[in-house]
Chain A
């Protein structure tokens, strides 16, 4: 954001109006590469339009094959006596240096190159917009004004962090540590995010909870952090220093300050639902706590799975009766909070690809095919089997009388487990990009299989093994030495014959087709932007890249910035990354926020000093 010095603006306008007009002789170049499927495909009409704009002497369409030669361009500019050049293209900035040099060679002012970009954000497809883009570049502002940084006073020192995973937690803690207030908005019922679901982290095989839980507790205890669970950002207005965010805080139906998490309510609750935190492989009660170490450690109700709410308050309500603290308020209402903040950190993380989209892998068809997050919950001590790797068993549901496959701690152990890499990743039909963490977590899974079921064979089907981080290659070697079969070749499908599952694929090393009999398959599904990221991008007015991740301002130099002052990115929402990178980026985002807060404070102090030192004149 910037404002202008009014006096200077007046003076410049005066100059422009009174000075004899410079003879602007404009050349408009439409530039395209051979394979350019430019949005402004109808160049004919655009060409015609540009030719009639004031000052335009020449319009040319160039198909650029090799680097432009400034000497050749300069000859043309000289011939047409052009002193201003407008470059219209998908990414015109790419050609600017050549034309700037050409103008200088032709004896004109090298800075008089205007860019008309069709690739800018907005409706690139419409002809009118293409016209406008060219028109504003041709006519432009005839002079420049130096921008002055704007600082609305007072600068709000509070920060909104969207997303309560490891990135949001880390950023919130860093900011809170400095004595500044943070609102941590989380969509689910607890902070912790995906990392809270994990059992181990790669490559160190540390217990994920041992790293995360202390941070979660610190967030819960910090005086400077206000956790808003079951909450979603609805609207954001304003700019850096004074954003206003409307946050919908859904009712938990349990008073967090009164609930002591004794669990009496759940004991009597007649409802069962599949547990969101356990990725649906375990069940929970209608009134529940997402997992034992949840922060805030409070029970909650999702009205969709609640007798009282579904019956319109006529039935049940036993939880309210059984709560000795009177903490359950079934008639509680959602509320919309209006938060005033100076900075926003986006840390919305990821979802995983739905493997049902690839039906040849049989997910949903065969019971013992799991996604990676389901396997994480299975191996986690707080999961349905207490961390044992067991197969699903068929049970009759007492209520519905339907046969269903469920995990039980004493279920049979698999004799062979296959882990399939790149499910929906690096695939033009699904996600084109590499999700970056799957190779390593798949190796971690193999380790867990070999550790927990030493008799089980474990096969990894991979395309390329991407062990790029510190200690990762060593981890890869270690898993190999642990007796895991690493098979190069993305498997094609999972089939069942006579009750035995087989992974069908090609073993690239031997150029043989193989059918590997397995009892359990883990699909290493890729990461994709979390649900609602597109809407959030609209609310915050920040761009996303073609894969849907939030786009950083500069890949190398500004990986945390969004292009909007005061809104920063942390973690996977910017692109797939592992936990160490996420934590580092979250700390960096916090540093940006703290920098802006400290900067605003010091500017204010200078201003006060300056005021004090200026003699008052009447």
Chain B
């Protein structure tokens, strides 16, 4: 079946950051330069080609953009300054918007103003909501931070966290199913038996926690920084989801819990600053281009960490009113950051990336077992 061309695709993807796609003259240098490009997944040239032609469906069915970790080697070597690395980054944003069934992702990515408005609105609603809750359902007294009669009781926050986690998880889960449908059940997809799904399931866990593919990139520093950021974040997540009561209790420092909290906070602050500085100095090829959504993510992260640390300090030094206000300000950052980024924007890659690696392994394994892609066109035989 002839592929359908969307002539506006290239302009559409421009909104997601891919500015130099037209410069590419299809020499294939990038694909050969990439350490992740192999076997069935030879990229980024092919993705750039799809973009140039406007082949929307094959592009949507492609896992390749998720297999790229943007070390920037392809962009460094590109003879046309076509920035294939940035194109792959933009395609990940575009794919995120494709997977998202609500259409919110599209709005957030395509317009920085919309994203800003969305963040502000959610922040405002959060602020009003928590203040109203505190005064009506909660302790009602801003001067009490923890223990019985706390303005925002840890028990309620705990319930709120789990509710929000559940909703966000559900949204992201639906998007993941859509990703699976587009990439594994599309027109030319490889039929994969259930047994293989089970056999390789552990891949998701391994790649989620180790990002070992990232480590295969020529440059190691980004992987290291990313690991520190991720584990700091994960630690924080576990503390908040599981130990919010111990976290909130004070003013004494509960070292069993808080030492982890301090480590994670330090990791988050340092990495956020390193990443902001990298993007400002444009020191590496993967820092040359910064999409509005990247700035939004980093600013929110910094804001959340700083307000989080501040409320902790204010509480410990005996200023419960200030601590409570800072806590509300902190939540006004946390809710939009997670609420918008996890299912609709940058954070979603924590699910898509390991899934993509898993799916690509399934495809390779199925092909190795002799599976034939649906409606596969006759492939040219590679030489030698």
Given contacts A428-B80, A463-B25, A489-B28, contact A517 B384 (CB under 8 A): yes
Cα-based distance from A9 to B215 in the complex (angstroms): 79
Cα-based distance from A505 to B381 in the complex (angstroms): 15
Whether A510 contacts B27 by the Cβ 8 Å rule is no
Given contacts A428-B79, A485-B383, A514-B382, contact A508 B32 (CB under 8 A): no
Taking CB atoms, residues of chain B closer than 8 Å to A506 are 28-29, 31-32, 42, 45
Cα-based distance from A489 to B27 in the complex (angstroms): 5
Whether A507 contacts B382 by the Cβ 8 Å rule is yes
* Interface residue A492 (Cβ < 8 Å from any Cβ of B): yes
Nearest Cβ on chain B to A514's Cβ, whole angstroms: 6
Taking CB atoms, residues of chain B closer than 8 Å to A464 are 25
User: Contact mask B123-147 → A, CB, 8 Å, 1/0?
Assistant: 0000000000000000000000000
Q: Which A482-497 residues sit within 8 Å CB-CB of chain B?
A: 485, 487-493
User: Contact mask B33-44 → A, CB, 8 Å, 1/0?
Assistant: 100011000100
Cα-based distance from A427 to B379 in the complex (angstroms): 30
* Interface residue B102 (Cβ < 8 Å from any Cβ of A): no
Among B79, B81, B383, the residue within 8 A (CB) of A507 is B383
Given contacts A463-B25, A490-B27, contact A510 B32 (CB under 8 A): no
Nearest Cβ on chain B to A62's Cβ, whole angstroms: 27
Given contacts A429-B79, A492-B77, contact A510 B382 (CB under 8 A): yes
Whether A509 contacts B77 by the Cβ 8 Å rule is no
Whether A516 contacts B380 by the Cβ 8 Å rule is no
Taking CB atoms, residues of chain A closer than 8 Å to B28 are 488-490, 492, 505-508
Among A427, A488, A511, the residue within 8 A (CB) of B42 is A511
User: Contact mask A498-516 → B, CB, 8 Å, 1/0?
Assistant: 0000001111111111111
Nearest Cβ on chain A to B334's Cβ, whole angstroms: 42
Nearest Cβ on chain A to B81's Cβ, whole angstroms: 5
Cα-based distance from A516 to B78 in the complex (angstroms): 22
Cα-based distance from A507 to B42 in the complex (angstroms): 10
* Interface residue B26 (Cβ < 8 Å from any Cβ of A): yes
CB nearest to B37 among chain A residues: A513
* Interface residue A459 (Cβ < 8 Å from any Cβ of B): yes
Size band of the A side of the interface?
Answer: 20 to 34
Nearest Cβ on chain B to A418's Cβ, whole angstroms: 11
* Interface residue B207 (Cβ < 8 Å from any Cβ of A): no
Cα-based distance from A215 to B137 in the complex (angstroms): 103
Cα-based distance from A430 to B42 in the complex (angstroms): 26
* Interface residue B279 (Cβ < 8 Å from any Cβ of A): no
* Interface residue B46 (Cβ < 8 Å from any Cβ of A): yes
Nearest Cβ on chain B to A519's Cβ, whole angstroms: 13
Taking CB atoms, residues of chain B closer than 8 Å to A489 are 27-28, 32
Cα-based distance from A464 to B81 in the complex (angstroms): 18
Taking CB atoms, residues of chain B closer than 8 Å to A129 are none
* Interface residue A357 (Cβ < 8 Å from any Cβ of B): no
* Interface residue A426 (Cβ < 8 Å from any Cβ of B): yes
CB nearest to B382 among chain A residues: A512
Taking CB atoms, residues of chain B closer than 8 Å to A429 are 77, 79
Cα-based distance from A506 to B383 in the complex (angstroms): 11
CB nearest to A507 among chain B residues: B382
Query: Interface residue count for B (Cβ, 8 Å)?
Result: 24
Given contacts A428-B80, A463-B25, A492-B29, contact A511 B46 (CB under 8 A): yes
Cα-based distance from A422 to B45 in the complex (angstroms): 18
Nearest Cβ on chain A to B26's Cβ, whole angstroms: 6
Cα-based distance from A93 to B189 in the complex (angstroms): 58
Cα-based distance from A360 to B32 in the complex (angstroms): 12
Given contacts A504-B32, A513-B37, contact A463 B27 (CB under 8 A): yes
Given contacts A429-B79, A513-B42, contact A487 B383 (CB under 8 A): yes
Taking CB atoms, residues of chain B closer than 8 Å to A485 are 383
CB nearest to B380 among chain A residues: A510
Question: Which of A459, A489, A506 lies at the interface centre, i.e. has the most chain B CB atoms within 10 A of its CB?
Answer: A506
Given contacts A464-B25, A509-B380, A513-B37, contact A493 B81 (CB under 8 A): no
Nearest Cβ on chain B to A391's Cβ, whole angstroms: 19
Question: Which of A422, A464, A504, A507 lies at the interface centre, i.e. has the most chain B CB atoms within 10 A of its CB?
Answer: A507
Nearest Cβ on chain B to A523's Cβ, whole angstroms: 15
Whether B380 contacts A493 by the Cβ 8 Å rule is no
Given contacts A429-B79, A492-B77, A508-B45, contact A514 B25 (CB under 8 A): no
Question: Which of B46, B78, B384 lies at the interface centre, i.e. has the most chain A CB atoms within 10 A of its CB?
Answer: B384
CB nearest to A518 among chain B residues: B384
Nearest Cβ on chain A to B47's Cβ, whole angstroms: 11
Q: Which B1-37 residues sit within 8 Å CB-CB of chain A?
A: 25-29, 31-33, 37
Cα-based distance from A427 to B81 in the complex (angstroms): 9
Whether A491 contacts B383 by the Cβ 8 Å rule is no
Whether A492 contacts B26 by the Cβ 8 Å rule is no
Cα-based distance from A430 to B79 in the complex (angstroms): 8
Whether B27 contacts A428 by the Cβ 8 Å rule is no
Cα-based distance from A512 to B32 in the complex (angstroms): 9
CB nearest to B31 among chain A residues: A506
Taking CB atoms, residues of chain A closer than 8 Å to B382 are 507, 510, 512, 514
Cα-based distance from A585 to B45 in the complex (angstroms): 40
Among A509, A511, A514, the residue within 8 A (CB) of B384 is A514
Given contacts A426-B79, A514-B383, A516-B384, contact A492 B46 (CB under 8 A): no
Taking CB atoms, residues of chain A closer than 8 Å to B37 are 513
Whether A516 contacts B383 by the Cβ 8 Å rule is yes
Taking CB atoms, residues of chain A closer than 8 Å to B77 are 360, 429, 492
CB nearest to A429 among chain B residues: B79
Taking CB atoms, residues of chain B closer than 8 Å to A493 are 32-33
Nearest Cβ on chain B to A449's Cβ, whole angstroms: 16
Question: Which of B81, B379, B382 lies at the interface centre, i.e. has the most chain A CB atoms within 10 A of its CB?
Answer: B382
CB nearest to B33 among chain A residues: A492
CB nearest to A426 among chain B residues: B79
Cα-based distance from A428 to B83 in the complex (angstroms): 12
Cα-based distance from A491 to B38 in the complex (angstroms): 15
Q: Which A113-168 residues sit within 8 Å CB-CB of chain B?
A: none
Taking CB atoms, residues of chain B closer than 8 Å to A491 are 32
Taking CB atoms, residues of chain A closer than 8 Å to B26 are 463, 508
Cα-based distance from A509 to B380 in the complex (angstroms): 7
Whether B383 contacts A492 by the Cβ 8 Å rule is no
User: Contact mask B362-384 → A, CB, 8 Å, 1/0?
Assistant: 00000000000000000111111
Taking CB atoms, residues of chain B closer than 8 Å to A422 are 27, 79
Nearest Cβ on chain B to A513's Cβ, whole angstroms: 6
User: Contact mask B314-340 → A, CB, 8 Å, 1/0?
Assistant: 000000000000000000000000000
Taking CB atoms, residues of chain A closer than 8 Å to B381 are 510
Taking CB atoms, residues of chain B closer than 8 Å to A507 are 28, 380, 382-383
Cα-based distance from A517 to B37 in the complex (angstroms): 20
Cα-based distance from A62 to B140 in the complex (angstroms): 62
CB nearest to A428 among chain B residues: B81
Q: Which B282-319 residues sit within 8 Å CB-CB of chain A?
A: none
Given contacts A509-B380, A510-B380, A510-B381, contact A490 B42 (CB under 8 A): no
Nearest Cβ on chain A to B316's Cβ, whole angstroms: 53
Cα-based distance from A512 to B382 in the complex (angstroms): 7
11 CB-based A-B contacts, threshold 8 Å? A459-B383, A490-B79, A491-B32, A492-B28, A506-B31, A507-B28, A508-B45, A511-B42, A512-B42, A513-B42, A516-B384
- Not counting A490-B29, A507-B28, a sample of 4 additional A-B residue pairs whose C-beta atoms are within 8 angstroms of each other reads A422-B79, A428-B78, A505-B28, A512-B382
The 7 closest A-B pairs by CB, nearest first: A492-B32, A506-B28, A427-B79, A490-B27, A489-B28, A512-B382, A506-B31
